[in-house]
Amino acid sequence: MSRHRADGQHVAGWQPELESAVVAAGLDPESVRDVVVRALDEDLGPRRQDVTTAATIPAEQERSALLVARADGVVAGLPLWPIVLAEAAAMLDLPVPTTTLAVTDGARVRTGDVLGQFHGRSQVLLVAERTALNLVCRLSGIATHTRAWADALAGTRARVLDTRKTTPGLRMLEKYAVRCGGGMNKRMGLFDIAMIKDNHKVAAGSIKAAYTQVRTRYPEVEVEVEVDTPDEAEEAVAAGARFLLFDNMSVDVLAAAVAKARAATPEPILLEATGGLTLDEARAYADTGVDYLSVGALTHSSPGLDLALDLLPPDTPAAGAAG
């Protein structure tokens, strides 16, 4: 059943298991709803209309549809599909189609695999189609790219991290996709980890001054210091930093910086490399002894994974699940 906002617009009443799945994935249900509703609004406009679907398909028509992989990859965002269907159904004031997913987020899929099947009013299926595909293809592309990095680093101490270079408004979902691909999330924003970068060092006067000011003002917040040379790494550790970001270093310089940083303190420290890293050199950078490689390209340059929704003719038998 749907309910209404104060402005009279429909709000979908999610099935309890949908909300539970979103929470279990580490996502905020209301934030997910906002993303989905905004995306549907872009397609349907102020009159909430898909003029082609409304003109060609009777409101009472029911069909089944399959979500099919058109390329090999790793999927992420599949639980968004029934949410998009629920929100689209509420906007059209039609029943919510049923969803049966054949795979789970993080699964590797092959071209031709059936990832899910949906059944319900054709109008709802087609109105929801592009919004759901835009989201799930985008997130699956990020998961696929991240998995390639995770595979390249397998057997080393290093893990791949994302950055804040995300699509505005989609950070929560894009970082979720990184987790689905076997990567780790760094900071969610400017609020949860303090990162002292070059401009902060210039403004404060030195690494030590910047570190001391952050630690004094926000003693409970983890602090990371960006360094550009082995000497800066030693300086940052001497100032008290135990989390360093090595930026734009060659493999040889990075190895020297790692050795210098670890020799500067008997305490455990976390070391991260970043700056235009590529898959071809991932292993070499990992072998320097860093704990993390952070890759902005995971979220700013991953191509979407090609997926498609195929509406089935009436009375078509249900398809098999993905292998």
Q: Which of 224, 226, 235, 272 is catalytic?
A: 226
Angle between helices 80-92 and 16-24 (to 10 degrees): 140
Active site residue 226: yes
Kindly list the distances between the CA atom of residue 251 and the CA atoms of 186, 203, 234, 246, 275, in Å, as whole numbers in the listed order. Answer: 22, 29, 18, 11, 12
Q: Are 47 and 127 in contact (CB under 8 A)?
A: no
110 by DSSP, 3-state: which?
A: coil
Contacts of 138 (CB under 8 A, 6+ apart): 77, 167, 170, 174, 177, 304
Residue (of 209, 278, 198) closest to 240 by Cα position: 209
Q: Give the C-alpha separation, 78 to 177, whole Å.
A: 11
Q: Which of 247, 260, 272, 291 is catalytic?
A: 247
Q: Which of 48, 165, 208, 242 is catalytic?
A: 165
292 by DSSP, 3-state: which?
A: strand
Q: Which of 108, 130, 215, 283 is catalytic?
A: 130
Q: Which of 110, 197, 222, 231 is catalytic?
A: 197
- Which H/E stretch holds residue 118? strand 114-121
Q: HSE (CB half, 13 Å, CA atoms) of 224?
A: 19
Active site residue 130: yes
Active site residue 310: no
Q: Which residues are catalytic?
A: 130, 165, 197, 226, 247
